[in-house]
Chain A
């Protein structure tokens, strides 16, 4: 083959060699970038995709199962919220009666020295929510240790209707996660448990707990459920159970009207807590 002489010249070969070396450096950099992309992006994403797809299928099944159950459970709870939690009348006779029952209960347990009458202010509108009205309230009390927690717990949980309402969001998330890992179809049992009327639950917790535990028997769920049952649910059972809970049920004082603490002052005097509370109760605005 006849190769032109200038191509065989050492200078030309040298220059071509240098150009090819530069080109190979570019190709090597491209390889390095591809390997880096594989290790930092492609591989982690590819490894996560199968588990995400499995999770998506599980969640789709759970949504289907939960939709049916939700339709059945909804009506009764909505009614309780409409009638008791956000009544149409801003007057507060039920709240006054509740604090009377609470006062008697705390006195009987020697957790209260004295509690003022509820001071009720004028109802007014809620600035950013025209469908609601608020009534300012205040009270003072002298409490023994243990009494303060109870009073504040009831204000924090005003409006609670179901078991889910007295759990922390983190606890609910944990139960859902464990149920999802174990048996996706068991979401219905968990949904039923979370939708249980909290007053019915605290009166006789065992049947409700056993029902959900029959559907979810794995260790992960069992441990999570035990933690929830012995955590904030135990507080709810302690504060809402017994004779006090029965009195609330008998007088139809539960669920409580929706309330929000605006200001609370606590001053310690030995083992006596002087509590001064400003809070407000909500109602629906009448159209």
Chain B
């Protein structure tokens, strides 16, 4: 390898030296301003700012909890037990209403397309078993059933909807229908008062 030419070596050295000087100056004078924030007369940097923010967030959360605790009636042990009891389950009235609404709105202008035959709610198993049939929509019955299941999955306290295979059958008059049997797995109530 041939040795570097003096015409290249000196400009390279001069450029590198100037660049380092400029960056060092910037590091000493500019970066501290960029990295720090002045709060209450004190400059805070990365980790101390994060700590200050986390501490402030904790204090806000604690005060919010204290405020909600005071504003909501019932702070005695009995009321707290009652609240725990009620929040451990889904509101059956709201759940049934949401399912019935989903069935009614499954097909526009055809509220009887999804017929609900039975509900079986089990608090211990946190499940709602549904049985019914999709009718009066011709060969679209399986599509309507799939859309109905999607609607059920969007109900806030439904965690998952389990279903067996979709069926399309013909009744004696030759009309298509899709009987179904669904199991809704429920999550903890976020909507029960």
Contact = CB atoms under 8 A, between A and B. Distances in A.
B59 A73 contact: no
B78 A82 contact: yes
A170 B190 contact: yes
A266 B96 contact: yes
B172 interface: no
Given A13-B10, A17-B13, A149-B97, A59 B19 contact: no
B191 A168 contact: yes
Contact of B35 (A11, A37, A48, A266): A37
Contact of A46 (B31, B37, B97): B37
Interface string B1-31: 0011110111011011101100110110001
Which of A56, A67, A69, A190: most chain B CB closer than 10 A?
A: A56
A16 B193 contact: no
A191 B70 contact: yes
Nearest to B124: A262
Interface string A144-172: 00001100110111011110111111101
A34 B78 contact: no
Contacts of A222: none
Contacts of B118: 265-268
Which of B64, B86, B93: most chain A CB closer than 10 A?
A: B93
B20 A23 contact: yes
B67 A31 contact: no
Nearest to B6: A10
Contacts of A284: 78
The A contact surface, by secondary structure, is helix
Interface in A1-48: 10-11, 13-14, 16-21, 23-24, 27-28, 30-31, 34-35, 37-38, 41-42, 45-46, 48
Contacts of A53: 56
Given A59-B67, A86-B78, A42 B49 contact: yes
Given A31-B26, A66-B71, A70-B75, A60 B63 contact: yes
B72 A194 contact: yes
Given A17-B12, A86-B78, A27 B59 contact: no
Contacts of A13: 6, 9-10, 12-13
Given A156-B91, A168-B191, A176-B67, 16 more contacts: A10-B4, A10-B6, A10-B10, A17-B12, A24-B23, A27-B20, A35-B34, A52-B56, A53-B56, A66-B67, A73-B73, A85-B82, A149-B96, A156-B192, A156-B193, A162-B74
19 contacts: A20-B19, A21-B16, A24-B23, A30-B27, A34-B34, A59-B63, A62-B67, A67-B70, A74-B73, A159-B82, A159-B85, A159-B86, A161-B73, A164-B193, A168-B193, A169-B190, A187-B71, A191-B71, A261-B89
Interface of A: 10-11, 13-14, 16-21, 23-24, 27-28, 30-31, 34-35, 37-38, 41-42, 45-46, 48-49, 52-53, 55-56, 59-60, 62-63, 66-67, 69-70, 73-74, 77-78, 81-82, 85-86, 129, 131-132, 148-149, 152-153, 155-157, 159-162, 164-170, 172, 176, 187, 190-191, 194-195, 232, 258, 260-268, 282, 284
